[in-house]
Amino acid sequence: MRARLFSAAVILCALALPGHTQEGHPLKGSWIGEWQGNEVHDEFVVVVLDWNGREITGTINPGTDNIAITSAELNAEDWTVRLVADTEDASGRAVDYVITGTIEDLELPNRYIKGTWQNGSGRGDFEIRRQ
Amino acid sequence: MQTFRSRLSIAVAGASALALAAVTGCAPDPAPAPAPLPIYGKFDPTQTRTLEGVVTKLDWRNPHAHIFMNVVSDGEIENWAVELESPSELHLSGWNGESLVPGDHIVIEGPLARNGSRQIFGHSVRRDGSSEQLFVLNPDLPLRSSESRPAPRWPDGHVALGATPDDTREGYWGYPSETALVEDGVDVSMNVYGQLADIDDASRVAPMQPWALALYEHRQERFLQDDPMFLNCKPPGGPRQYQSRLGLQLVEDLERQRVFVLLGSGNHNYRIIYLDGREPVGQVGGDDDNPLYYGRSVGGWEGDSLVARTVGFNEDFWFTNGGLPHTSQLALTEKFTRVDFDTLRYEVTIDDPGAYTRPWSASWELSWVDGTELPAHICQENRP
């Protein structure tokens, strides 16, 4: 419950702040949101993405979980996104995430990605907004 | 590149005794205005109207002046906002803050706001009852001397990029021959804001990566209304600083080996090109990684041309009219050549492996506007 309240508070604060303009690659930047129903890594999620001209790289929950994104794809024809990340849970069991979604409000600094996440044992809605 | 350059007629003519005004219907599609704002992001050129009404207020402020007027429609009074050019543009054409006063009866022609609000862009403004045009906003280059004058030179022999100390008159570079980036040799049609006449030409404008092309098309399809230079007064970094007819001054500080680029548009900012041999890195310890709107520029003379290299751009702005994307990997090589007294040739090579598939170049000319300082158009208060 506390985690939910914390997540909601952070997201509300994030939504209230004007986004930092990012007019380059649409995925580059810091994103904050939720992967709902995630019992392994909490529902609150931070994603940091970068673009080096050839590939998208990034990390989920940097500083805490440090989940490296192993594959990231952007289809610019419909602005769909697919992120893949491999990690472990607290017991050392492999957890492989696949996140799919679409960039909404592409033209806005605080554009967001809305879709779903799934791993071997769970799935849910996924939404992160660029900060 | 072909540009739609035509004269924007803003006219105020003799007074009329008519007290009531009316919405009179559609007018012919007026020519695109050379405003520093891509007005068609806000106003729809396919939906034009003629309005007659009574002035209630003239709001004479940067970056765009507004007339507020009452219009009678179906027996009801409606308040309309008429957006005009910037006060500096209007001033150059003979307007001032007292050109219209409350109570004046006027007729407006122009495109309506896309969002359906009671806003119209004043392509034509005249007093009711007369077609006489008192003021014409003229985007054409001021008349220049018919005699070709050689480029001035400093005592050390190198070409002066701006006014020299022995010149008695000031001046600035303005009226660019192109107002949006297009790769040299490519012929596409776009208006002065960089809006393509045919979106199918998008892929020809520059060698864009797929994401950059899709983003460029998205911006074009939205009529450039998301341009952060206008929405948020973001600086016109990169080649864009040479795309405004409001121009710029190049001020050479020979003693300190640097050139100041003073902008007449955007937020009236400046940029420095260092000629003292330093590297294009931060000038204060610790800020080397801090990307900037104008990047970090160093340069030197190659014959009669100043060549500048610039890196360290941020991604918070559009680096050209028209919305071509760039990334922080952008590196510019700019070549400034004062061909003669009245002509500055600007050549730029864009090397941005983050957004483009290969380096590419564009070039255009700016004209010397003699005997005057930079116009004082200032984007302020994020007021588009």
- The Cα B361–Cα B194 span in angstroms is 17
Residue ranges of the domains in chain A? 2-130
A19-23, A106-110, B5-9, B264-268 — most confident range? A106-110
The predicted pLDDT at position B170 comes to 85
Residue of A7 and B23 predicted with greater confidence: A7
Size of interface A-B (CB pairs under 8 A): 58
The predicted pLDDT at position B76 comes to 94
The predicted pLDDT at position B320 comes to 97
State the smallest CA–CA distance between residue A76 and chain B in angstroms: 5
Give me the domains of chain B, ranges plus CATH numbers: 2-127 (2.40.50.140), 171-370 (no CATH)
Q: Is the Cβ pair A22, B316 closer than 8 Å? A: yes
Mean pLDDT, chain B, whole residue set: 83
Handedness of CA A63, A65, A69, A73 (dihedral sign): negative
Distances (CA, A) of A118 to A48, A56, A85: 19, 20, 11
- The Cα A91–Cα B28 span in angstroms is 73
What are the residues facing A47 on neighbouring strands? Answer: A31, A60
- Give Dmax over CA atoms of chain A in angstroms: 42
| Amino acid letter, B186 | V
- Is residue B263 within 8 Å of residue B236, measured between CB atoms? yes
Question: In chain B, which residues have pLDDT < 50?
Answer: 1-36, 134, 384
The predicted pLDDT at position B127 comes to 83
What are the residues facing A50 on neighbouring strands? Answer: A57
Question: Quick one: CATH architecture of A2-130?
Answer: Beta Barrel (2.40)
**For tokens 């986004």, what's the residue?**
A19
Q: Is the Cβ pair B316, A20 closer than 8 Å? A: yes
| Amino acid letter, B180 | A
Q: Looking at this predicted complex, what is its ipTM?
A: 0.87
- The Cα B310–Cα B262 span in angstroms is 16
CA B4 to chain centre: 14
Work out the angle at residue B170's Cα, subtended by the Cα atoms of residues B168 and B175, and round it to the nearest 5 degrees: 145
Global confidence as pTM: 0.82
The answer to whether residue B214 neighbours chain A at the CB level (below 8 Å) is yes
State the smallest CA–CA distance between residue B211 and chain A in angstroms: 5
The answer to whether residue B226 neighbours chain A at the CB level (below 8 Å) is yes
- The Cα A27–Cα A11 span in angstroms is 19
pLDDT above 80 for A56: yes
| Amino acid letter, A13 | C
CB contacts of B326 in chain A (<8 Å) are: 23-24
Q: Is the Cβ pair B316, A23 closer than 8 Å? A: yes
- The Cα A114–Cα A97 span in angstroms is 16
Of B209, B214, B315, the CB nearest to A77: B214
Q: Which residues lie below 8 Å from residue B24, measured CB to CB, with a gap of 6+?
A: B49, B50, B51, B52
